[in-house]
Structure 1
Amino acid sequence: MTGIDLVPLVDEGLGNSAYLVDLGDGRALVVDVSRDLRAVHAAANKRGLTVAFAADTHLHADFLSGAHQLGATVGARVLASANGGREFTHTGLSDGDEVDLGGLRLRALTTPGHTHEHLAFLLLDGEREVGVFTGGSLLVGSAARTDLVAPDRTEALARSQYASLHRLAALPGEVEVWPTHGAGSFCSAPPGAERTSTIARERASNPLLAAADEDAFVTALLGSLGSFPPYFLRLGELNRRGPALLPDIAGIAALDGEATHRHVDDGAVLIDVRPLARFAAGHIPGSLSIPLRPVFATWLGWLAPADRPIIIVRDTEQDLTEIVWQAAKIGYDNLIGELAGGVDAWSAAGLELTRTNLVGPDQVDGVRVLDIRQTPEFVSGHVPGAVHIELGDIAARAEDLPHEPTVVMCGHGERAMGAASLLEQAGHRDVSVLAGGPDDWVHATGRSLDTGR
């Protein structure tokens, strides 16, 4: 135990952790917090703390930072890399710079790789090195990807990442490792429940630290990179400029059916956040299914346009505030309203609904199967003969796919329904969704999945 009152604030949907540190004098430090500050305010209020410092390890690609908001609204001192070119008030730090937190100290360590301006923050209690906020450098069992700045810089940043990891690994073994990216993050983190570690544990178990040399490290890191949402390429610049400030209470207008129809005619997009079974039973033609769940923000940013107005369709028991904040934390400030009364009101007004068939795992034989999971999921085991296209690529390829009876599948059905709605938008009509995933198919049929071996 470190003796430091540190509170991890885990965003299960994005796979990230922010941190709040009680400085012991009524003030707090927060690290890598998102624009959705609800958890930060709740943790601080519970302890009677004022957020005095907001540190960002890097220009985040997967969420908008809340540091600018905290600086503007509660007077927090924003700490970030001097090399980041941020255009809002902050304290720019370089390697070795220290900030007195009132007993504790924070030391900046340049650790480029995930981004060119990346800092790790070493927390010191007196001269004791307690823990290090590693952001997107040293992760639990891994290191964050290096291909989000520019394609022509990916390898050079991977080589910088090698040096950064070994710099951090040289810290005393008892130093706690507090990364930002964890399991579920598309910034590259392996699966697993552990979100924090120690330097000693990472030296002993992190396969990237075990790489024979820099070239082997680069080969391993770059070979692990998968796809990522397109909004990752926009948010770094928004974080550099400073995200727009938001009111404390998020909300959007209630639109009747006529107004909704008019907005759609003018180019608005309908995002239906209801559970997949509800969407399947009846939905507005052309609407996009992205069920509200912890990963809602990721798939909203992957599938929905950021440059067109968005109207939400939900069930009354679904939390509108949650929807708006999830959208806001990835820069989707283009939610202009929700359909008042939802699908029931649309139907009551005599407006058209359509359906999507849900099928069981015993109903896919003899039908074209489209598996839209991520590549590592597909490779680990899939229905024999299944066609593989990742969900993020469906919209671009939908018009080229054959118009024939198709069952779309993923791990449980939610992503598959999103793919089916995209196919329907492109004119595909004989599309069904598997209610379940590969394990359900194995259980129902007694057959084995294809792993390519």
Structure 2
Amino acid sequence: MFFKQYYLGCLSHASYLIGDTASGRAVVVDPQRDISGYLHDAAAAGLSIERVIETHFHADFLSGHLELAEATGAVISFGADAAGRTEFAMEPLGHLQRLELGDVVLEIRATPGHTPESISIVVYGRSDADAVAVLTGDTLFIGDVGRPDLLSSVGVSADGLARQLFHSLHEQLLTLPDATKVYPAHGAGSACGKNLSTDTVSTIGEQRRTNYALAPMTEEQFVHAVTEGQAAAPMYFLFAANKNRAERTILDEADQLAQLDLNAVLAAQRDGAAVIDTRDNADFSGGHLRGSINVGLSGRFAEYTGEVVRPNTPIVLVSDAGYEPEARIRLSRIGFDTVIGVLANPMQVFQHHPDVVESASRLTVQQFEQRRASLATLQIVDVRGPGEVEHGMIAGAIHIELPALLARLGELDPTVPTVVYCAGGYRSSIAASALRANGFTDVSDILGGYTAWATLRDPAPPTVG
């Protein structure tokens, strides 16, 4: 058996290449959009990718099923409940249907709950042997289960999906032997759950013992446990979920970005383009194109861009030299294919055109406290998630999670001095720059975030993410 997990840390996304080395037949499960890694490894192992299996319609990334089908001729499959819901040819897989790759056998189990069409895939080394592993998609994570509320905005009941999830877990997954390895589609940091582990593999037995959602409880208790405390879903999730059902452009990983001069960038900006500066927030604060948004490549770049830039918005990139292709590929992984180019020689442009450059105000905790004491009115915005604010907030702060910021701009006064904070300073730089780009005139963020503020006030700070 050939079995490889591919873990994409910037999206907390796990995908899989599974094959039978004797027959040379293989499948890819839940692929990322840039597929060169699967093609390389399959060729090296003498495997032919004949099928792409999606465990559900993903919302947090744009899957590579169309790219793999184009490159290999592979059949695309989802669970049976996805039948009739795709614009492209798709072969649905029924509950308990088995796919024989040779000695390696895959068994499909319908596990609705995170979404109605969710499936899990049980892997057997031989048809008469015990299960070796189960690929659980977004049904079961390490330390958590898939959130059932993401489809609420399109009229699908979170309560109803949570009840389906309860039965899927107990009737389809927990019936597997304890030694069965668990391989989920996501890990820590994913917005598809609230308590995901940094581990990327576990066993059914370990999850039975340690996963809060699998502890002995009634169905009602389970529904409450998995629906309360979920963070706001990133703004792009519904867009990506719909794109994963649609015919769309195939990604060309070698495509080159246009180099734009300053006049072209300013013209695009006037026409509604978002200028995304991918540099470190310290470099951004020292000087950047006025109205640009700082989302550093060092973090969850694509996800956070998708939280502050609306889908289909034209995008111009400002990057350190050589990092532009990475930024484009990472945006393509969430379906943001509207990058029209990059600002050529940005540092030189900033030096020669200081009239279009501004710096960002970043306050130490002491400077923040001084500013708070000196101003009659100060708007303080906490952009952390619900699990983080449980540990405390700065007095008087308005809690608006980063994914909800654009939708809730109307609750804030753009003319009032504003200070934004998160846990450590990465998200607050994103939020502060997004507020400036939307017309807020006096915005700062706190260096070190709530962690720094709490540490100064209490040498033993609360635990925050």
Q: Does the alignment reach a TM-score above 0.5? A: yes
* 1:52-451 matched pairs, under 5 angstroms: 52-84=50-82, 85-126=85-126, 127-128=128-129, 129-149=131-151, 150-167=154-171, 168-317=173-322, 319-349=323-353, 351-366=355-370, 367=372, 368=378, 369-398=380-409, 400-402=411-413, 403-446=415-458
Contact 1:250–1:324 under 8 Å retained in 2? no
The answer to whether the 8 A contact 1:250-1:325 is kept is no
Measured in 1, the distance between the counterparts of 2:249 and 2:93 equals 23
**Aligned partner letter, 1:142:** D
Distance 1:192 1:46, change over 3 A: same
Q: 1:347 to 1:72 in 2, by over 3 A?
A: same
CA distance in 2, matches of 1:243, 1:114: 25
Q: Take 1:338 and 1:102, find their aligned partners in 2: how far apart are those partners? A: 48
| Equivalent pair of 1:27/1:49 in contact (CA under 8 Å) | yes
Aligned partner letter, 1:9: Y
Q: Is the 8 A contact 2:142 2:196 kept in 1?
A: no
Distance in 2 between residues matched to 1:212 and 1:434, nearest whole Å? 42
- 2:384 maps to amino acid: R
| CA deviation after TM superposition for structure 1 residue 438, in Å | 2.5
CA distance in 2, matches of 1:242, 1:164: 30
Measured after TM superposition, the shift of residue 333 of structure 1 is 0.8
The alpha-carbon deviation at position 206 of structure 1 amounts to 2.1
SS in 1 for 2:11: coil
CA contact (8 A) 1:211 1:217 kept: no
- Offset of 1:43 from its aligned partner? 4.0
Is the contact made by 1:283 and 1:343 (CA closer than 8 Å) also made in structure 2?
no
Question: What is the distance in 2 between the residues matched to 1:187 and 1:43?
Answer: 28
> Does the Cα contact within 8 Å between 1:64 and 1:243 map onto a contact in 2?
no
- Structure 1 CA distance, aligned partners of 2:36 and 2:233? 26
How many angstroms apart in 1 are the aligned matches of 2:410 and 2:245? 37
In 1, the alpha carbon distance for the partners of 2:145 and 2:175 equals: 16
8 Å Cα contact 1:111-1:164 kept in structure 2 = yes
Aligned partners of 2:401, 2:359: CA distance in 1, in Å? 23
**Larger mean Cα displacement after TM superposition, 391-400 or 405-414:** 391-400
Q: Partners in 2 of 1:189 and 1:136 — Cα distance? A: 12
| 1:28-47 → structure 2 map (5 Å cutoff) | 28-44=26-42, 47=45
Instruction: Describe the shift of the 1:6–1:111 C-alpha distance in structure 2 as closer, same or farther (beyond 3 A).
Output: same
Deviation, 1:103, is 1.8
Contact 2:34 2:253 in 1 (8 A): no
Across the aligned residues of Structure 1 and Structure 2, the Cα RMSD in angstroms comes to 2.3
Q: Any idea what SS the aligned residue of 1:93 has? A: coil
CA 1:346–1:364: 2 relative to 1, 3 Å: closer
SS at match of 1:59: coil
For 2:99, the aligned partner's letter is V
Contact 1:409 1:416 in 2 (8 A): yes
Equivalent residues of 1:144, 1:181 under 8 A apart: no
Task: Return the offset for 1:291.
Answer: 1.2
Of the structure 1 ranges 277-286 and 436-445, higher mean CA displacement relative to structure 2 is found in 436-445
**Whole-angstrom distance in 1 between the partners of 2:142 and 2:462:** 30
Query: 1:72 deviation in Å?
Result: 1.4
- Distance in 1 between residues matched to 2:391 and 2:149, nearest whole Å: 24
**Alpha-carbon shift at residue 360 of structure 1 (Å):** 1.7
- After TM superposition, the structure 1 stretch with the greater mean CA deviation from structure 2, 274-283 or 50-59, is 50-59
Between 349-358 and 168-177, report the one with greater CA deviation: 349-358
- Distance verdict in 2 for CA 1:416–1:45, change over 3 Å: farther
Query: Given residue 419 of structure 1, which amino acid in structure 2 is its aligned partner?
Result: A
CA apart distance, 1:22: 4.0
Q: Which amino acid aligns with 1:201?
A: E
Q: Distance in 1 between the 2:410 and 2:140 partners?
A: 42
Using the TM superposition, give the Cα deviation of residue 395 of structure 1 relative to its aligned residue in structure 2, in angstroms. 2.7
Counterpart residue type for residue 373 of structure 1 = R
Query: Amino acid of the residue matched to residue 28 of structure 1?
Result: A
Q: TM-score, normalised by structure 2?
A: 0.89
Q: Secondary structure at the match of 2:188?
A: coil
Aligned-pair distance for 1:189? 4.5
- Aligned partners of 1:133 and 1:447: how far apart in 2? 43
Partner Cα distance (1:123, 1:143) in 2: 20
Unaligned runs of 5+ in 1: none
CA–CA separation in structure 1 for the residues paired with 2:38 and 2:352 = 42
Aligned length: 447
1:362 touches 1:445 (CA, 8 Å); kept in 2? Answer: no
Separation (CA, whole Å) in 2 of partners of 1:48 and 1:357: 55
